[in-house]
Amino acid sequence: MDEYRLLTDEEIGILEDNGCTAEDWTAIQVADDFAPTHIRHVAFYGEVTLGVFEKNVEVSPGFRKQSGIRNATLRNVTVGDNCLIENIGNYINNYHIGEECYLSNVNTIETTDGATFGQGNMISVLNEVGEGNVILFDGLTSQIAALMVKHIGDKDLINAIRVLVKAEISAKVPEQGTIGDNVKIINTGEITNTHISNDCEINGACRLSDCSIKSIPQANVYIGSGVICENSIIFDGSSILNSAKIENCFVGEACQITNGFTAESSVFFANSYMANGEACAAFCGPFTSSHHKSSLLIGGMFSFYNAGSATNFSNHAYKMGPMHYGVMERGSKTASGAYLLMPAHIGTFSVCFGKLMYHPDTRALPFSYLIAYSDTMYLVPGRNLTTVGLYRDIRKWPKRDVRPRCGQKSIVNFDWLSPFSVGEILRGKEILENLRAASGDNVSAYNYHEYVIKTSSLRKGIKYYDIALRIFMGAVLKRHRLEQPQTDCGTGPWTDLSGLLLPLSEEYRLIEDIKNGTLTTIDAVTDRFNRIHENYSEYRWAWAYRMILDYYHLDELTPADVERIRTDYVTARRVWIAEIRKDAEKEFSLGDVDEKVLNSFIKQLDKEVDFENQRLDI
């Protein structure tokens, strides 16, 4: 721990000769090796503590300047070793500044009475005029936020969570604003009641007020020009750039908000990207993207989703080009006018005239298209299972997770076929088979609620669902020894808690343990989520084992049964790849992609045979 002392008379004389003044020189303490040489034109008020100024500070790549303090007013400030603070237009008041920081051309940095640094701020997500349901604090994850939103009607749970959050905030929120080590703040207007972690950079921001900017060494935060952040928390590896404005928001790991995007009372998690548009009361789970100026995400839950703009929707028919964003997203319109329906991590949506609409009637028919012709809405079940877009998405999402592994907080499970999605597929197949049994085969179309399913589409839907089921069963068997499941947990319904796939029973058990006091801290709740995720493989095996027995009408699994299932798996997988190949060739025939792109994609498909004998391939 550094030792501090009072200034000597000689040092006070040098400081005064350098144009410095002090309300009370005896209220200033300095490190033992302090030298006043590099302190010029500084006004000191209140209690000030100064480190040493021995090193040069890098202000730009290849450009270093001598550390020190020049042209500044400091009141009740601690400055660590080897900082460079210069040209502070107004003052720095009530702040702790770490080591080797660079602060230049900043107007005001201040902590006022009652500062919360954005912690404990209650916002209303999903309902922009409703009661607050999400508490912003630096321990928030997509799972905790989803729990708050999903179970807002359970007052005992919500009250218990709020008690845990309040305790977390009381234990961690500092009394004074803090700027960590190696922080760079330049050309910035106002910073008020804002905690800034190590290695963060703020360059050209207009105003940061009542915020916490958190980071880890592997993932710092960058705040760029023209940005206004109020009552918000920004987390590891995120960037807020180019005149973006956020108010009452949580920006989670590795997110980017840029190009004038505005957000209010919204949460963003794990690799979300927002540009040009607007979000209000939005729950943006992992990999939510919005690129267009007229996009408004309001009052909805999104995940693995790319928002469109008016009639310019994300183009999912463009499947092989470099700008493709994928079809695992919650809902977007294709160039052909089709809407995509799939078992979303949060729910099933389609997009119509720029607005998101929930389709409860079609959730049980996942991976489907909705196509509107005049006043008739046609449902094409399971079609999206055999598209190039889905194939690409299965592989791209894990690669796009840029969060450092050592610091990931929100959980994201990338399994595209899981008990959650396969459960929806089973229900979808059952619905189609019941429709066919009720109306027979000699009809031109079937009616499902207010949707029309052509006979050919129904037959193909059953086929596509069977393909997915057999791929899932074969792949799970490759991941487990042939043995009875060691747990009953997971045999019932599954759900998705904003990226965490889990048995519904485990979610309910977690809720009860929060309410009855078994889980007494936010860390304990987070640890429970992590343990559930770690046990995913065993829970999946318990669910899949029972599903396999039901599907093949077996009492138990024998080696002969496993070989039969493996044969079905290989056959189904090859049919799946063949269908994707046909989809790619059709895309090429329309003239939308180059032959070189097609050939490269076909070569990738040809290698799929290699995966059949690998242990992990979904």
3-state secondary structure 331-350: CCECCCCEEEECCCCCCCEE
Q: What is the DSSP letter of 146?
A: H
Residue 433, pLDDT score: 97
Give me the half-sphere count of Cα atoms (radius 13 Å) on the Cβ side of residue 219: 25
CB 445 within 8 A of CB 452: yes
Q: What tens digit of pLDDT does each residue of 163-194 get? A: 999 999 998 888 899 999 999 999 999 999 99
CB 315 within 8 A of CB 335: yes
Q: What tens digit of pLDDT does each residue of 264-288 get? A: 999 999 999 999 999 999 999 999 9
Rounded Cα–Cα distance for residues 528 and 406 (Å): 18
Residue 575, pLDDT score: 96
Q: Longest C-alpha distance within the chain, in Å?
A: 104
Rg, the chain, Cα only: 29
Over the chain (618 residues), what is each successive 10-residue block's mean pLDDT? 86 97 97 96 98 94 95 98 97 98 98 94 89 93 96 95 95 90 97 97 97 92 97 96 97 96 96 95 94 88 77 44 31 34 35 34 76 89 92 88 88 95 96 95 92 96 97 94 91 95 97 97 97 97 97 94 95 95 90 88 88 56
Strands (E), 80-180: 84-97, 102-110, 121-123, 134-136, 177-179
Strands (E), 197-280: 201-203, 207-213, 222-223, 228-234, 239-240, 245-247, 250-251, 256-258, 262-264, 267-268, 273-275, 278-280
Strands (E), 449-543: 451-454, 494-497, 500-503
Rounded Cα–Cα distance for residues 477 and 564 (Å): 12
Residue 2, pLDDT score: 64
Residue 53, pLDDT score: 97
Alpha carbon of 2 to those of 81, 301, 305: distances in Å?
10, 49, 50
Q: Find the distance separating the first CA and the last CA of the chain, reported in whole Å.
A: 52
Strand partners, 244: none
Residue 294, pLDDT score: 81
How does 34-52 read in b/e, with b if 16+ C-beta sit within 10 Å?
Answer: bebeebbebbbbeebbbbb
Rounded Cα–Cα distance for residues 421 and 493 (Å): 11
CB 233 within 8 A of CB 137: yes
Rounded Cα–Cα distance for residues 464 and 474 (Å): 16
Phi-psi region of 303 (alpha: psi -120 to 50; beta: other; left: phi over 0): beta
Residue 608, pLDDT score: 86
Residue 617, pLDDT score: 40
